Structure 1
Amino acid sequence: MLPPELPPMPALTHAEGELIDHYLRVADLLGRINPAREGSTYRGLRAAQALVREAAGLRDALSLMHQRGESELHSTTLARALRVLDGERRTARVTVPPAQRS
């Protein structure tokens, strides 16, 4: 049986694609650093070091969009792209998990 087919990726400018890619990578790294989740300090340190690079990429994508006169983010289109790329699951790791009941 084949897995369900994903919805089509919306058309994005190159800068919008870079924005989405770097945003999700930043979210992944923040999920690794999240002190409310299990993991080693070394893993968190490595993620924090990589976060600097990804944040710069995110800044550069937004800067390029601004320089080109793209003053508004098309949130509906960008949200669709995030959903296609599993953004809901990936960003959920950044939050504090619910308290466990004893």
Structure 2
Amino acid sequence: MWPPELPPLPALTRAEGEVVDRYLEVLDLLGRINPSRTRHTYGGLRAAQTLVVAATGLRDALALMYERGEREVHSGTLAQALRVLDGERRARKVMLPPAGASG
């Protein structure tokens, strides 16, 4: 049986696509660093070290948008793209787990 087909990704400029990709990368790293969800310091340390590079990539992607004259963020379209790319699940890893939940 095939998995359900994902909704199509909305049309994005190349710079918007880069912002979405870099933002999700930062989210993933923050999820790995989240002390309420991790068990070992080494993985968090490696993710924190990589976060510096990822944050720079996100900054550069936003700067490129600005330089190209893309002054507005179309939040609805970008939110749709983030949902298609599993952003909600990825963002939950940054949040605190429910009270009483372990790891």
**Same topology, TM > 0.5:** yes
One-letter identity of the residue aligned with 2:84: V
Aligned to 1:44: 44
What 5-or-longer segments of structure 2 have no aligned partner?
none
SS of structure 1 residue aligned to 2:37: coil
Aligned to 2:70: 70
Q: Distance in 2 between matches of 1:21 and 1:51?
A: 14
SS of structure 2 residue aligned to 1:80: helix
What 5-or-longer segments of structure 1 have no aligned partner?
none
One-letter identity of the residue aligned with 2:93: R
Q: Distance in 2 between matches of 1:35 and 1:46?
A: 13
Q: Distance in 1 between matches of 2:39 and 2:100?
A: 18
Aligned to 1:15: 15
Pairing 1:1-102 to 2, within 5 Å after superposition: 1-100=1-100
Q: Distance in 2 between matches of 1:18 and 1:54?
A: 12
TM-score normalised according to structure 1 size: 0.95
% same residue: 69
Contact 2:38–2:44 (CA<8 Å) still a contact in 1?
Answer: no
Cα shift at 1:11: 1.0
SS of structure 2 residue aligned to 1:49: helix
Contact 1:15–1:62 (CA<8 Å) still a contact in 2?
Answer: yes
1:40-85 deviation digits (Å, cap 9, x = unpaired): 1000000001000100000000001111121111011101110110
Q: Distance in 2 between matches of 1:38 and 1:44?
A: 7
Q: Distance in 2 between matches of 1:97 and 1:4?
A: 28
Runs ≥4 residues deviating over 2 A:
none
Aligned Cα root-mean-square deviation (Å): 1.0
Cα shift at 1:23: 0.3
